[in-house]
Amino acid sequence: MMTARRPGAYVCGIDAAMDVVGGKWKVLILWALNERTCRFGELRRLVPGVTEKVLASHLRELEADGIVHREVHDEVPPRVEYSLTSLGFSLNEALAPLGAWGRENILGGVADTHNSAS
């Protein structure tokens, strides 16, 4: 299980959760990994607009928080794959109602073609 990044500084559970998923890109990275394991280049394509630097930084943070698993395959050239941990899948489940709220209230009920929960 993840340990708090700011021990004692959290006011509530939402505060702690936002520390993990804060920022524009982390939730989109989580949704991209919800369906399958991906390599870095695949994630870049699945999360349009994210820079390589930001993607790499967010993946490192999500890995440190126990949300994403990074697996390096002993091959030439090296192959690195990212996947969600069980904690990451549970976080996506918790985010599903937020995605539904956005679809219903902001997008006006427009269907999401990427993921029905986002």
Q: Are 89 and 31 in contact (CB under 8 A)?
A: no
For the chain, give the percent of residues with pLDDT over 70. Answer: 85
User: Ramachandran region of residue 8, left (φ > 0), alpha (ψ -120 to 50) or beta?
Assistant: left
83: amino acid identity, one letter: S
d(CA 47, CA 49): 6
pLDDT of residue 115 exceeding 70:
no
To the nearest 10°, report the CA torsion of 56, 32, 66, 76.
Answer: -60
- The pLDDT, as a whole number, for residue 108 is 75
Q: Are 35 and 83 in contact (CB under 8 A)?
A: no
To the nearest 10°, report the CA torsion of 88, 23, 73, 66.
Answer: -40
pLDDT-derived band at 97 (thresholds 50, 70, 90) equals: very high
More confident residue, 118 or 22: 22
pLDDT of residue 47 exceeding 60:
yes
pLDDT of residue 7 exceeding 90:
no
pLDDT of residue 90 exceeding 90:
yes
Task: Using CB atoms within 10 Å of the CB of residue 20, give its burial: 0 to 12 exposed, 13 to 18 middle, 19+ buried.
Answer: buried
- Residue-wise pLDDT for 19-42, tens only, equals 889 888 999 999 999 999 999 999
What's the pTM?
0.81
- H helices present in the chain, as ranges: 13-21, 26-35, 40-46, 52-64, 86-105
* Average pLDDT of the chain to the nearest whole number: 87
